[in-house]
Amino acid sequence: MPTVLITGANRGIGLEFARQYVADGWRVIAACREPARAQSLLDCLPAADVVPLDVTDTASIRGLAAALAGQSIDVLIANAGVMSAHPKSHPLDIADEAWLTDFRVNAMGALRVAAAFAPHVAAGRERKLIAISSLLGSIGSNGMGGHYSYRASKTALNALWRSFAVDHPELIAVTLSPGLLRTDMTRYESAWDQLNDPAPRVGLLRGVIAALTAADSGSAMSFSGEKMPW
Ligand SMILES: NC(=O)c1ccc[n+]([C@@H]2O[C@H](COP(=O)([O-])OP(=O)(O)OC[C@H]3O[C@@H](n4cnc5c(N)ncnc54)[C@H](OP(=O)(O)O)[C@@H]3O)[C@@H](O)[C@H]2O)c1
């Protein structure tokens, strides 16, 4: 039975990944900040191993990596993410704490998770290390502006993942952009009800992950499997 570890698995895109991998017969290690409060996850997925993980807390990351020592992970999905400022915020109105939180979770947290679990992933059959990034992290695709702190943190994530791929040729490390989806993160959208449901998109993302080869490592890809401009 293949194993996937998903961060931020208690809601949104992470929960949908967990649901779909469980349905496919995978062992799912569903990491979330507060397992006791992860009611949807606990109710829907009794088959998942729900474990605590705060990606901004290095001790928490090290603790889970130690608890899983000797266990292989085929696919790790660094999905946990935040958007701490409204996308249209004026730069002078974005508090330092919002900038730092976006960087702590989206960039530094994901990299630390990658570093802690690289040995587990290297021991897996698939050796795939996936970060959920964003189209907003692509400088070359930016025709919209705004989203300052979030955008910068995802650009940083892409840069960090590329570096990690160079340093770890034994792994397939790729960032994936899921596109705009209806989750708690996007509640600022005026037509939120009409946004795409995460389920079909996560199905596409799982297809992209399944098709990744060593030649893809170090790239940033969209949910349709196309390489994205940096
Ligand atoms: N939705 C979109 O349109 C969209 C588009 C592009 C990229 N993305 C990316 O997709 C990923 C998932 O987003 P989503 O839309 O599913 O957002 P969401 O519904 O807001 O879920 C975010 C998840 O991240 C977790 N998280 C936040 N901070 C954490 C921390 N310090 N440690 C561990 N977990 C933490 C949350 O846990 P708590 O419940 O404990 O807060 C939650 O499980 C993110 O990386 C996001 O940037 C989303």
Atom in ligand 1 nearest the alpha carbon of residue 181: 3
Q: Residue 169 sits in a domain of what CATH number?
A: 3.40.50.720
| pLDDT confidence of residue 48 | 83
130 three-state secondary structure: strand
Token reading at 227: 């390489």
Residues with CB under 6 Å of ligand 1 are 7-8, 10-14, 32-34, 53-56, 79-82, 105, 109, 132, 134, 178, 180-181, 183-186
- Please indicate, yes or no, if residue 54 is contained in any of the structural domains: yes
| Residue 227 included in any domain | no
Q: Would 228 be classed as within a structural domain?
A: no
Domain count, the chain: 1
pTM over 0.85: yes
- Cα separation, 96 vs 92, in Å, equals 10
Structure tokens at 79: 């999905």
Nearest CA to ligand 1 atom 1: 181
Ligand 1 center to residue 74 CA distance, Å? 22
- Give, for ligand 1, the residue of 29, 33, 54 to mutate: max count of ligand atoms closer than 8 Å to Cβ: 33
Q: With respect to residue 103, please indicate whether it lies within any of the assigned structural domains.
A: yes
Asked whether residue 229 is assigned to any structural domain, the reply reads no
Question: b/e for 155-164, b at 16 or more Cβ within 10 A?
Answer: bbbbbbbbeb
Distance 132 CA to ligand 1 centre (A): 9
- A 10 A CB-CB count for 109 gives 27
Atom of ligand 1 nearest to the CA of 105: 31
**pLDDT, position 36:** 85
Interval between CA 79 and ligand 1 midpoint (Å): 6
Q: Is residue 67 part of a domain?
A: yes
Please calculate the CA angle 203-207-208 and round it to the nearest 5 degrees: 120
- pLDDT tens sequence across 41-94: 777 777 889 999 999 999 999 999 999 999 999 999 999 999 999 999 999 999
Distance CA 124, CA 67 (A): 17
DSSP-derived 3-state class of residue 10: coil
Ligand 1 geometric centre to CA of 11 (Å):
8
| Strand, helix or coil for residue 178 | coil
Domain that holds residue 130: 3-222
Along the 230 residues of the chain, how does pLDDT read in single tens digits? 999 999 999 999 999 999 999 999 999 999 999 988 887 777 777 788 999 999 999 999 999 999 999 999 999 999 999 999 999 999 999 999 999 999 999 999 999 999 999 999 999 999 999 999 999 999 999 999 999 999 999 999 999 999 999 999 999 999 999 999 999 999 999 999 999 999 999 999 999 999 999 999 999 999 999 999 99
